[in-house]
Structure 1
Amino acid sequence: MLQTNRKGDWLEIIIPDEWKNKSVEDLFHQIWNCPRKLTHLFRMGKKVWLNGKPANWREPFGTGAKLSLQLFSENMPDIPATYLDVPVLYEDDHLLIFNKPPFITTHPNNPSMEKNTLLNAAAFHMLANGETGEVRHIHRLDRDTSGAIVFAKHSFAGALLDQLLEKRKIKRTYVAIVHGMITGKNGTFSKPIGRDRHHPTRRRVSPTGQEALTHYQVIKRDLASQLTYVKCWLETGRTHQIRVHFSDAGHPLAGDLLYGGKAIFPRQALHAAKLEFTHPFTEERIECYAPFLDSPPIFKDIDLYRL
């Protein structure tokens, strides 16, 4: 775990032994894989200092050096701030993890018209805590899906979290309830997913679609209701991925009318129950569990902490 300290607009990192022969350039390119545009902005804007002076980007750090990055700005959010009662699962100077209630959209498609999305709530949360900056979501959850979702509080955190997501280093574990009795204990869906040309929002399994990998494990079976509770985790993040894969397999999610489920719940029975990743700045292992929020409950007798 790295030792870091926030000092106003700057983040100070104490260089560990394993970085002593690295340079700022190595850190940005090899370790953080920072996008070129953002790297250029930090280089030209002299937003990186080493031991109290502007850094020489090619000079090795040495042990115990103090690297400072100007990460935090006083820019006001470019989206209206709206109070919504959304539980916070984890928060620090760089990121925010909400437990998203169902029936809330992750972000507005029309920012001037939609002001009750989770992104609006994130902007309000930051302002209420005296923080500014352009907060943004790292991934999405469908409107009717609940659970853990990550927001970046500044552009550099956003870039590094995007890299983790792209490299499949953010593990997202879901709980779903599907119709029918799934045979076997576990399995993987690997069929590609594309748009449904006959419906504006629906997706479908398609040989010309994008790669999609969904792993699942049966948690329990409800014989009386003919429902199976499953744990799912994703290798990719396609729109409606879990919903499409289970529907294609003949086990649509309960409550998911768009993909053939029956209206036994007020929404599709899908909850993002757990998030795991290594913090991009501190290298701390982050593990968040998102309690179920439905009242009356949809997911019954499930121990999140054993997923």
Structure 2
Amino acid sequence: MTIKPKIKGNWLELTIEAPLEGKTLEDILKQDLFISGRMIQRLTRQKGLFLNRKVPFLKKKVKTGDFLRVLVGDKEEGSLVPENIPIDVVYEDEEVLVVNKQAGLIVHPIKPGQTGTLAHGIAFYWLSKGVTGKVRPVHRLDKDTSGLLLMANNSYIHQLLDRQLREQTIKRTYLTIVHGRLAEKKGTIREPIGQDPQHPVKRKVTPKGEEAITHYEVVEEFQEASLVSVELETGRTHQIRVHFDYLGHPVLGDSLYGKKHPWIQRQALHAHRLEFLHPFREEKLSFEQPVPEDMKKLLEKLKESIPSV
């Protein structure tokens, strides 16, 4: 059964209908509302669960007409000190935030005390609107990768979107410029990716790695490079960069897996398109963001380098 709860402020509200009668409250929370056991424990501690305006037992069986309220807005204070870092907001509502990340910006702190990240900038943006709470990226982008990034506005929304990510219903399409011309203009790379034991940061294709699937199609070819559209089926660290390096076509400007390039100061990789189902409105949202200026200039120079016939 598909249920349609409503969000009012920080609370999710649901009137129990006949198909749910006889189920325990715990089963409804886990199976129908997709709330994790960890979040349920937190809700019981915070008095964030009410059935017919009373604090219920999790094993209580519900009846048709019962009224359930669940606290889904964050009471947790974010641990980041907000910083006035400009962010490019593409879309926002009460549940989600989509931003266009600039290259050179880390998404969130990766070590204690780290500052100057996108998450710090979002915390500042939210604070300016009177909103507090944790910054919750649904997926990641490397520091020097630009483009679209999805954020959840509370822990419950994050769980719903993370479920979409695991079920591969969030579609992420990238544009990248790689060295050389690919023999196959359209294809799928299915090679597992794991840690490179010789380097603390690098990843590599290895039989001991995790499943990694990358779909690609060549958009345009130049004398010694190709513009490629890439769709991720999985989301391993550095997946696009590792897979194209494995093919012998590393991303242009990628000093970690290839080499620096005089025409761009970072890897030529941009999260171009993002598509997902809104967790409450059952509406498919899609966004596109053109390549930033540095990749645009790189493409122009590559076109100019093609010898005339």
* TM-score greater than 0.5 by the shorter chain: yes
- Matched residues in 2 for 1:74 and 1:34: separation? 16
CA RMSD of aligned residues (A): 2.8
Residues 45, 60 of structure 1: alpha-carbon distance in 2 compared, 3 angstrom cutoff: farther
Deviation at 1:290, TM superposition (A): 2.5
Which structure has the larger Rg over C-alpha atoms?
2
Structure 1 SS opposite 2:160: helix
Equivalent residue pairs, number: 295
- Equivalent position of 1:240 in the other structure: 238
Could you tell me the TM-score, scaled by structure 2's length? 0.84
How far apart, CA to CA, are the structure 1 residues paired with 2:142 and 2:74? 30
CA-CA distance at 1:49 after TM superposition:
3.6
Taking the aligned partners of 1:283 and 1:118, their CA distance within structure 2 comes to: 28
Q: 1:130 to 1:266 in 2, by over 3 A?
A: same
Q: Per-residue deviation at 1:163? A: 2.2
The answer to whether residue 56 in structure 2 is matched with residue 58 in structure 1 is: no
Q: TM-score, normalised by structure 1?
A: 0.84
Helix, strand or coil at the partner of 1:30: helix
SS at match of 1:115: coil
Deviation at residue 142 of structure 1 after TM alignment: 0.6
Match of 2:289 in 1: 290
Question: 2:241 is matched by which residue type in structure 1?
Answer: R
User: AA paired with 1:245?
Assistant: H
**What corresponds to 1:304 in structure 2?**
none
Secondary structure class of the residue paired with 2:236: coil
- Give the Cα separation in 1 of the matches to 2:117 and 2:18: 44
What pairs up with 1:93-172 in 2 under 5 angstroms?
93-112=94-113, 114-172=114-172
Q: Which residue is 1:28 aligned to?
A: 29
Unaligned runs of 5+ in 1: 302-307
The match for 1:255 is 253
- Aligned residue type for 2:94: D
Aligned position for 2:272 = 273
Residue aligned with 2:293, SS: coil
Question: Is the 8 Å Cα contact of residues 23 and 61 (structure 1) preserved in structure 2?
Answer: no
Give the whole-Å Cα distance in 2 for the aligned partners of 1:43 and 1:177. 50
CA gap of 1:23–1:97, structure 2 versus 1, over 3 A, is: farther
* AA at the equivalent of 2:264: F
Q: Which amino acid aligns with 1:108?
A: P
